[in-house]
Structure 1
Amino acid sequence: MPSETTIRPADAVNVEAALERARHAVDLATSAGADHAVAQYGSARSLELQQREGRVESIEESRSASIGVQLWVDGRYSSHVTTDLRPATLAKFVTDAVAMTRLLEQDPHRRPVPRALWEDRADVDLDQVDPAVDALGQDDRLAICAAIEDAARADAAVLSATAYHSDGHVLFARAAADGFEGTGEHTSLSFGATVSVKDAGDKRPEAYRFTGAAHRADVPDPGTIGSEALERALARRGAAKAPSARATMVLTPQAASPFMRRVLGAMQAGAVQQRRSFLEGRLGDRIASEHLDLWDEPHRPRSGASRLFDSEGMATKRRHLIAGGVLETFFVDTYYGSKLGWAPTTTGSTNVVFAGGAGDLESLVSGVDRGFLVAGWLGGNSNPTTGDYSFGIHGHRIEGGRLTTPVAEMNVTGSYADLLPRLAAVGDDPEPWSTFRSPTLVFEGVDFSGS
């Protein structure tokens, strides 16, 4: 284990020093003949620890620092990144990059971000840096892993339990020749467990549970995470196929998040321009039931996904994505916006929030007469162009408002275009530390294939 206990990113520069490095790279580019330039300095450190049977299995610590430059030269565009930040080497790197850019084909769709899209940036404190995370030392990390593993092993049926820990710190600064300047910095702490248990025959059902946040105070107790991983593994014992059926599907918050993220992928302007989105041509249309009310909230405090400006420098703002089932917007960057003739909005999502829900998992299950609770996914795929999907699942049958036998080796198939209008209920129980804050979701008339 590294002896250092308080670890700053990479070369330990502060925000002002990082910004000065970005400014210097811009000056190098314009001095070399670039018509416009953007530079971003980034610095990061991370430490990952894995423990099993009370022994540390692996420790990986990484530190990095880099400068990336985006260049516009005579109607041509290129981007470059280097980790060699020695002054003379950096100057040659930028000069050579400008010269190479002159050799490229012109691209009229590669344009600098207009001032109007970045100058009206919110002035709020995102509170993303926790000194308690930076102060974590060897004993702290080992204690977290021990608490997780002890809780995860608290049953005679456990065959294997592994605890995981990761913490890090990221700092970046961005500057442009037109006067744009912006910085960001956040810490991160995550941990979790995987557990496998004995089952009939040679079966070894496995489950996992992870959590993470920017602040140490915002993550659950490590022992709780270990206990939940164990509980999930034990719940999978005796799982078998159920008869094929068209029934109600209840998604836990943990299962709903990856399932619904695919909808956001179809909302990218790049996917639309490349004809890879089932939402093409649907702006302003009702694509889901009135229960789906989705917001993007980039200024939520203490979230690692929050940001004042996006990856192009455009100012972020709270944005209604889907309002009562109606598609309100796409994620439009400047490049694909130019190709489509659309006004830019933002490059992607930050903190996605489901609004207007009511009830938790237990209360929503109690209202289902016949269906399946999906607790997790077991492979499968989806087609973003058509919206078709087929995923393996594990979970439980629902009978008379109660969870009964566990199920596995079943598939759920259909199309997002057909499924979203069948959203019957939305809970209000997202995981508080999640950046994709999906609650329990209930869909009616879903096709399950089993025995």
Structure 2
Amino acid sequence: MKDLLEIARDAAALARGRGADEAAVGAYRARHVEVAWRDGRLEKVSEATTRGLGLDLYVDGRYVSVGTSDLRPEALERFVDDSVALARTLAPDPHRRLPDPGLYQGQADLDLELEDPHHGALDAAERRRQAEAIETAARAVPGAHAILSVSTSVSDSLSESALVHTNGFEGRRRGTDFWIGAEVTVKDPDGRRPEEYASSGARHRSDVESPEVIGRRAGERAVGRIGSRKGESAVTALAVDNRASGRLVGALFAPLSASAIQQKRSYLEGKVGAEVGSALLDVRDDPHVRRGLGSRLYDGEGLAARPFPVFERGVLRSLYVDTYYGRKLGVPPTTGRSSNLAWKLGERSQAALLAELGDGVLVTGFLGGNSNGTTGDFSLGVRGFRVRAGALAEPVGEMNVSGNHLELWKRLVAVGNDPYRYSAMRTPTLVFEGVQLAGT
């Protein structure tokens, strides 16, 4: 069978031969294996291999984006013919065309180490052993008599892709990822059944935490939720755990897309160059992190990936601009989506930040709620712990934090030294002052 780059090249040439002025072709293949374990027994083993091809066609000023999973030559011919015919029925769009070839230039000469060369050594017996070991560790924590159920999972993937543009771009990449996790349910004396989880994942298996560590962490977190109560309403200091702070950061970054700006759906419209947070809000987009979950040498449009500042000392410096919406807005493209976030970190651990906090709340998770990308208003359910005299006290839940992002980020008063490794956002512990928390 042809490799993906050959398939993409053939499809691109076929599109040109059938009447397309330009074409972009992305071919992909992925294999995913997962073992699910629950309460002492194997629950599920799944293995799936997917492949497909995405085709962007530019025909007589018109544009269509289509996909297929049938890569047989005769099937691709019919698919391309039908797609070209479909494009000709659509309205013209003068902003739809392939990127300027100059944007493909300057790709970094780096080995990002996105593929674990030992991926093939992981077998079924080892996946099952890890899944079982996670549960054993969870059920060994102090207070484990309250545990009702433990569900664990072990998974790994190998993916590869190729991208070909008819105006000169070609690229291919391969990557692996490995994940383990556990979800633990406990019985509260009042009859409730709190749940907590822990997980770890990386490009290379050697960078994933051990099953014993993940199981113990999940068990301890779940047992720690026993006795949770709704806390008192207050305007208070709020520390957000590095695992949870991605929820807030996601709501800050989503309105940075050029599509949201152009469609008037962003509370950050017109804010480039303006101060939108405290001086501690200092974040770069860095696609070149070795083994990073969001790392890449080129983006989905073939644009050479480059680091750039997003926020500098609270000032918004850049948007996420793809070529289409860049043309509509009349601004140069950066990239259409984020890669890895690189924070200017503080020097203190979460424990040290809480000690300095004195009294407040540590948020360990957000539950439901919403954040309005157009206005910046948000209202989110939270759970976590009261902080008293700088130490963790009783667990709290069924509370709500609300406000507006343009105010919240100006209240950022501390950033931890602990970026969360298991997300491309790599968020650290964040501390805010004077936040409205609703409870009893």
Deviations, residues 193-236 of structure 1 (Å, cap 9, x unaligned): 00011211212111011111110011111110011001111111
Give 1:152's aligned residue. 138
**Structure 2 regions of 5+ residues with no counterpart?**
none
Query: Aligned runs of 1:250-399 on 2, under 5 Å?
Result: 250-399=239-388
Counterpart CA distance in 1 for 2:96 and 2:199 is 40
1:59 shift after superposition:
1.9
Deviations, residues 273-292 of structure 1 (Å, cap 9, x unaligned): 11111101100001000011
Counterpart CA distance in 2 for 1:25 and 1:134 is 30
Q: Which residue of the other structure, out of 418, 424, 448, is the alignment partner of 2:437?
A: 448
- Look up the equivalent residue of 2:247 and give its one-letter code: P
Give 1:217's aligned residue. 206
Q: Which runs of 4+ in 1 moved over 3 A?
A: none
Counterpart CA distance in 1 for 2:116 and 2:283 is 29
Give 2:160's aligned residue. 171
Tell me, yes or no, if the aligned pair for 1:134 and 1:187 is still in contact at 8 Å.
no
Deviations, residues 145-200 of structure 1 (Å, cap 9, x unaligned): 01111111122221110111111111000111111101111011101000011211
1:26 and 2:15 aligned? no
- Look up the equivalent residue of 1:128 and give its one-letter code: L
Counterpart CA distance in 2 for 1:122 and 1:99 is 38
- Look up the equivalent residue of 1:399 and give its one-letter code: R
Give 1:43's aligned residue. 29
Tell me, yes or no, if the aligned pair for 1:134 and 1:168 is still in contact at 8 Å.
no
The Cα RMSD (Å) is 1.2
1:424 and 2:410 aligned? no
Could you say what secondary structure the match of 2:393 adopts?
strand
Give 1:3's aligned residue. none
Counterpart CA distance in 1 for 2:421 and 2:76 is 43
How many residues are matched?
A: 437
Counterpart CA distance in 1 for 2:402 and 2:377 is 8
1:108 and 2:97 aligned? no
1:81 and 2:67 aligned? yes
User: Which of 382-391 and 95-104 deviates more?
Assistant: 95-104
Deviations, residues 340-395 of structure 1 (Å, cap 9, x unaligned): 11111101101112114221110000001221000111111111111111111111
Q: Which residue of the other structure, out of 220, 229, 233, is the alignment partner of 1:244?
A: 233
Q: Which residue of the other structure, out of 92, 95, 101, is the alignment partner of 2:81?
A: 95
Counterpart CA distance in 2 for 1:216 and 1:360 is 26
Give 1:192's aligned residue. 181
TM-score, length-scaled by structure 1: 0.95
Give 2:57's aligned residue. 71
Counterpart CA distance in 1 for 2:430 and 2:65 is 42
Q: Which residue of the other structure, out of 12, 35, 38, is the alignment partner of 1:52?
A: 38
1:82 shift after superposition:
1.0
1:141 shift after superposition:
0.4
Tell me, yes or no, if the aligned pair for 1:219 and 1:433 is still in contact at 8 Å.
no
Tell me, yes or no, if the aligned pair for 2:247 and 2:366 is still in contact at 8 Å.
no
Tell me, yes or no, if the aligned pair for 2:36 and 2:152 is still in contact at 8 Å.
yes
Counterpart CA distance in 2 for 1:402 and 1:83 is 55
Counterpart CA distance in 1 for 2:345 and 2:133 is 36
Give 1:117's aligned residue. 103
1:231 and 2:231 aligned? no
Could you say what secondary structure the match of 2:243 adopts?
helix
1:78 shift after superposition:
0.8
- Look up the equivalent residue of 1:107 and give its one-letter code: D
Could you say what secondary structure the match of 1:266 adopts?
helix
Identity, % of aligned positions: 44
- Look up the equivalent residue of 1:130 and give its one-letter code: D
Could you say what secondary structure the match of 1:419 adopts?
helix
Tell me, yes or no, if the aligned pair for 1:357 and 1:425 is still in contact at 8 Å.
yes
Counterpart CA distance in 2 for 1:349 and 1:205 is 34
Could you say what secondary structure the match of 2:201 adopts?
strand
Counterpart CA distance in 2 for 1:251 and 1:128 is 30
Could you say what secondary structure the match of 1:346 adopts?
coil
Counterpart CA distance in 2 for 1:138 and 1:86 is 31
Tell me, yes or no, if the aligned pair for 2:293 and 2:423 is still in contact at 8 Å.
no
Tell me, yes or no, if the aligned pair for 1:189 and 1:213 is still in contact at 8 Å.
yes
- Look up the equivalent residue of 2:76 and give its one-letter code: L
Give 1:415's aligned residue. 404
Q: Which residue of the other structure, out of 178, 193, 202, is the alignment partner of 1:204?
A: 193
1:304 shift after superposition:
3.0
- Look up the equivalent residue of 2:153 and give its one-letter code: Y
1:130 shift after superposition:
0.8
Counterpart CA distance in 2 for 1:99 and 1:198 is 60
- Look up the equivalent residue of 2:100 and give its one-letter code: P
Could you say what secondary structure the match of 2:275 adopts?
coil
1:27 shift after superposition:
0.6
TM-score, length-scaled by structure 2: 0.97
1:142 and 2:125 aligned? no
Counterpart CA distance in 2 for 1:262 and 1:183 is 31
**Structure 1 regions of 5+ residues with no counterpart?**
1-10
Tell me, yes or no, if the aligned pair for 1:187 and 1:304 is still in contact at 8 Å.
no
